[in-house]
Amino acid sequence: MKAFVMEAIGETGFTDKDKPEPGPTDAILRPTKGLVCTSDVHTVHGAIGEREALTLGHEIVGVVEEVGTDVDSFEPGDRVAVGAITPDWGSDAAQDDHPSQSNGALGGWKFANVKDGTFAEYVHVNEADANMAHIPDDVSDEEAAYTTDMMSTGFMGAEHADIPIGGTVAVFAQGPVGLMATKGAALQGAGQILAVESVPKRQELAERYGATAIVDFEEHDPVERIHELTDGRGVDAAIEALGSSTTLEQCVAATKPGGTISNVGYHGEGEYVNIPREAWGVGMAEKDIVTGLCPGGRLRLRRLLRLLEEDVVDPTPMTTHEFAFDEIDEAFRLMETKEDGIIKPLIDFD
């Protein structure tokens, strides 16, 4: 079968691989729609080290091709979403309510990390009963593809932020995860949502997803501006959706004493991420810094799919480009350069 792989650091291309076989609790999917993630691009650039002929991708929906002997909930032909993160549900970490860390830090992240990813004609899914969900009839494949990572991760950013109903929140960066954090903040009842972003198209989407004001960091110092907009109090919570030490520092400084900094950004560079000592109240201002990795699992997916089914969320305005599977290298190229106003490229496998 055909697979789009990282051949080595900095090199990608199509290759031919054997079709995967399911173990007793596994399933094999045939992807129908997928989305390319910035983290795929990071991987190609060596963020997680050298890989050889590793199939890329972790955001897809598809049709069940084959199931293992112990799979109860799915059968061939079912239309399903599979989480970008596919935990081991019996692991210590899952028993401790941290399934995304199963069997080691970030251990639930298997696709295009410790096993082949999803950009291939067939995809192997571990613990299929627990890691996939049926897509409701009136939810499109495109919509459903957003549940696998963007909605799950972005919403988690808002859930971790512990926003009180009517509270104030700043969301730093309005890429697709940041946009879904903005929508997530609205879904947590925030009263004031400040979207920190300088790109007009992203500002526009942020407002669509519930931002009550835009903080353009090219026009204002974002920390000062957030204090102005909150009568000098600082926000109840700040969400870091970029993955930069500077942004995390700004989050700490923009948050009130007793508030929460919720990190969803992937911090790819440097030895340290810095906490600004004074703004952090010398370690005593009760500004907690919390982090998370995309939640996976059937239950999470089903809940996110329900929000699509009931039209509470529409993620499709984030799809700025569309490519056939054959053209996926062009999608990767655009995600790298961020040119042409790209937010998310949709991949069509049919």
Q: Which of 266, 314, 322, 327 binds a copy of itself (CB under 8 A)?
A: 266
Q: Which is nearer to a copy of itself, 2 or 306 (CB)?
A: 306
Among 12, 86, 101, 250, binds a copy of itself (CB under 8 A): 101
List binders of a copy of itself among 136-155 (CB under 8 A).
Answer: 155
**Residue number, 10 or 283, with CB nearest to a copy of itself:** 283
d(CA 52, CA 312): 41
Please give the full DSSP string across 286-323, using - where no structure is assigned. Answer: --EEEE-----SHHHHHHHHHHHHTTS---GGGEEEEE
CB-wise, 98 or 333, nearer to a copy of itself? Answer: 98
- For every residue of 216-236, DSSP letters joined together read -TTTS-HHHHHHHHTTTS-EE
Q: How far is the CB of 297 from a copy of itself (least distance, A)?
A: 5
- Side chain identity, residue 261: I
What's the angle, vertex CA 67, arms to CA 61 and CA 68, rounded to 5? 135
The residues in 9-38 that bind a copy of itself, with binding defined as CB under 8 A, are 24
Binding string, residues 62-81; x marks residues near a copy of itself by CB under 8 A: --------x-----------
| Phi then psi dihedrals of residue 309, to 5 deg | -60, -40
Residue (184 or 345) nearer to a copy of itself, CB: 184
Q: Among residue numbers 224 through 253, which ones bind a copy of itself (CB under 8 A)? A: 233, 240, 243, 248
What's the min distance (Å) between Cβ of 2 and a copy of itself? Answer: 31
| Distance set, CA 142 to CA 155, 308, 332 (Å) | 18, 11, 18
Q: Using the minimum distance from each CB to a copy of itself, give the nearer residue, 78 or 328.
A: 78
Tell which residue, 262, 231, 287, 283, has the closest CA to residue 169.
Answer: 262
Q: Closest CB to a copy of itself among 271 and 350?
A: 271
Q: Does the footprint of a copy of itself cover residue 94 (CB under 8 A)?
A: yes
Tell me how far CA of residue 54 lies from CA of 4, 17, 49, in angstroms: 8, 10, 12
